[in-house]
Structure 1
Amino acid sequence: MEVTLVKKCFIFLLSLCLIAGLAGCGGTSEKAANTDGKLKVAVSFDAMREFVQAVGGDKVSIIEIIPDGTEPHEFQPTAKRMKLLHDANVFVMQGLGMEPWAEAMIKAADNPKLVVVEAGTGVSAITNTDEDEIKEHGQYDPHAWLSPSCAQIEVQNIADGLAKADPKNAGYYQANAKAYKEQLQALQNEYTQKFSALPHKDFVTGHAAFAYLCRDFGLEQKSVESVFAAGEPTTNQMKELVDYCRDNHVKTIFSEELVSPKTSETLAREVGAKVQPIHTMESSEGGATYLDRMKENLQRIYESLQ
């Protein structure tokens, strides 16, 4: 079956599911019941929540579509999750193919006042090269939020979207966005200087989520799994990774919270390396902020390359 036909079938079924779910609401909604005056913002996953909170401050009430602890690439929306868009003023998503279900969900929500923000709009997108991934997920690597420079673009897009939905507080959103972007830029400046002084630029991670971060700092990732954390490496791919780690004296293999560490642990044992966590900000991971986790990522990568 062609991918486009599969997508159309998915959209149709999703629409039916949401229509049925809304019919059982009895005509009441969280939007109507919301009397605190805050802008009701639905977000796809944790990094979007962080950016919205930084920009929206105490003017917004945030709901996550993807439940915390769920791998976004594997998420399938339920009727209960889909209702959240029907009740929202704004929906913030990453875009670039990160939320393949979003188009159908927005259409089925039947919410003409919903302001949709694709945070990744305007980012210089990195193109996928794997034909199977392009067929299944689209032509772009979606992980732009893991780059401090791209994150600044995303924060500005979010500020513009919140201002559109809530013009009376536009100045507040823009001021918050400016302050947050300055923090992101300061972090980028600090580690641009640190990484530039290192002779080695390659690090090894569980899944290939850090291409945008690598572009920011002149680094290169070697990964156990693909951009979409799908499948396991072949015997030949694993041998190449083992040889690479041995030849380059790699002592750290990074692993993400929502991706199985099994293959990373196997690789680490084979080459005598340690496994260390690295954050993708797809889940809250204990409540640390985006800036704290990004700095921790950069510092751990920096230390692994020394």
Structure 2
Amino acid sequence: MPRALLAAVLVLAVAAGCGARASAGGFTAGRLNVVTAFYPLQFLSERIGGGTVRVLNLTKPGAEPHDVELNPRQVADVADAGLAVYLSGFQPAVDTAVEQEAKGHSFDVASAVDLLPYTQDSEEDGDKDPHVWLDPVRFATIAGQLGDRLAAADPANAASYRSRARQLQDQLRDLDRTYARSLATCRRHELVTSHSAFNYLATRYGLTQVGITGISPEAEPAPRRLAEVARTARATGTTTIFFETLVSPKVAETIAREVGARTAVLDPLEGLTDPAADYFSVMRANLAALTTALGCTA
């Protein structure tokens, strides 16, 4: 082998070795590598991890996370992580990557709380509803357990992780109290949404979700379902049909025209489109939309 080529190969080998050592044991430059499946888990990890973690989100900002596919680099990131944070049953590609590459260093947030069943009449009957983060109380429980998992992965910073987790739990409980107070005196309680993502929120605060489509927001509703939702909206005096930011509003607009209602955004927080927003700002915007649509007086 020519000397110049041999030298180049040696340089590449040394560089590769340095890169491997830099991320050995799930750390890079002294920070714990945390891979998260989609935005709410990224939010928790960044808030609890602070400056001692390096968070990589597998779902790009503005992307719809349900059917995300992972490229080889992302699968390698899962393998290299000190902790992979995901929600089983929500993203099949992520489930597969964790099972194959991160089984011993992962946290399935579905194991932290009881998940509600998905009950709408469709082929998805019997499945568990994944949208647990829309219940601040359950989300606070997940935050506490994530703090413990980060502490176990990085014992040198365990006290800081647990402290930040407690602070975040307090903020989530404050959010829960605000929701409960604001939604206690509403004239209407039916929540008509284009995507059946809000059962946790509805269950927590005494509302009834009426979803046009199922858990997957891109599913096409059957004509029978459209007719059922329109009848329910008329019977309950619904004034607002909600749609979300990451998918087309056409279905919601169709129902709204038929029953003489308006449309408004209710964000399921599966991903952010505004870089200035975060979990709390979106949840407050959702609350404002709900109190207007449901005629709440508190």
TM-score (norm 2): 0.85
AA at the equivalent of 1:125: L
CA distance in 1, matches of 2:255, 2:23: 50
Alignment of structure 1 residues 211-250 onto 2, 5 Å = 211-250=199-238
CA distance in 2, matches of 1:284, 1:231: 21
Deviations 1:50-109 (A, max 9, x none): 0111111111111011222222212122222211112211101123x1122334212433
Within the candidate set 149, 152, 155, 1:164 is matched to 152
Task: Check the 8 A contact 1:208/1:225 in 2, yes or no.
Answer: yes
Higher deviation after alignment, 121-130 or 259-268: 121-130
Structure of larger gyration radius: 2
The SS at the match of 1:286 is: coil
Instruction: Answer yes or no: is 1:99 the counterpart of 2:87.
Output: no
AA at the equivalent of 1:271: V
> By how many angstroms is 1:49 displaced?
0.5
Change (3 A) 1:174 1:241: same
AA at the equivalent of 1:142: P
CA distance in 2, matches of 1:230, 1:69: 15
Higher deviation after alignment, 25-34 or 270-279: 25-34
CA distance in 2, matches of 1:184, 1:195: 16
Structure 2 residue runs without a partner (length 5+) = 1-14
Task: Check the 8 A contact 1:120/1:153 in 2, yes or no.
Answer: no
What is the match of residue 54 of structure 2?
61
The SS at the match of 1:91 is: strand
What is the match of residue 294 of structure 2?
305
Task: Check the 8 A contact 1:43/1:63 in 2, yes or no.
Answer: yes
> By how many angstroms is 1:26 displaced?
5.7
TM-score (norm 1): 0.83
CA distance in 1, matches of 2:171, 2:224: 43
Sequence identity percentage: 30
The SS at the match of 1:42 is: strand
Task: Check the 8 A contact 2:190/2:236 in 1, yes or no.
Answer: no
Structure 1 residue runs without a partner (length 5+) = 1-24
Task: Check the 8 A contact 1:39/1:166 in 2, yes or no.
Answer: yes
> By how many angstroms is 1:182 displaced?
0.7
Q: How many residues are aligned here?
A: 276
AA at the equivalent of 2:255: L
Note the aligned Cα RMSD (angstroms). Answer: 2.2
Deviations 1:101-124 (A, max 9, x none): 334212433x67x52111232312
Task: Check the 8 A contact 1:73/1:98 in 2, yes or no.
Answer: yes
The SS at the match of 2:98 is: helix
> By how many angstroms is 1:277 displaced?
1.4
Deviations 1:203-223 (A, max 9, x none): 111100011111111111111
Within the candidate set 98, 108, 120, 2:100 is matched to 108
Task: Check the 8 A contact 1:90/1:162 in 2, yes or no.
Answer: yes
Alignment of structure 1 residues 28-39 onto 2, 5 Å = 28-29=19-20, 31-32=23-24, 35-39=28-32
> By how many angstroms is 1:35 displaced?
4.9
Task: Check the 8 A contact 2:189/2:208 in 1, yes or no.
Answer: yes
> By how many angstroms is 1:299 displaced?
2.1
Task: Check the 8 A contact 1:115/1:161 in 2, yes or no.
Answer: no
CA distance in 2, matches of 1:199, 1:291: 25
What is the match of residue 257 of structure 1?
245
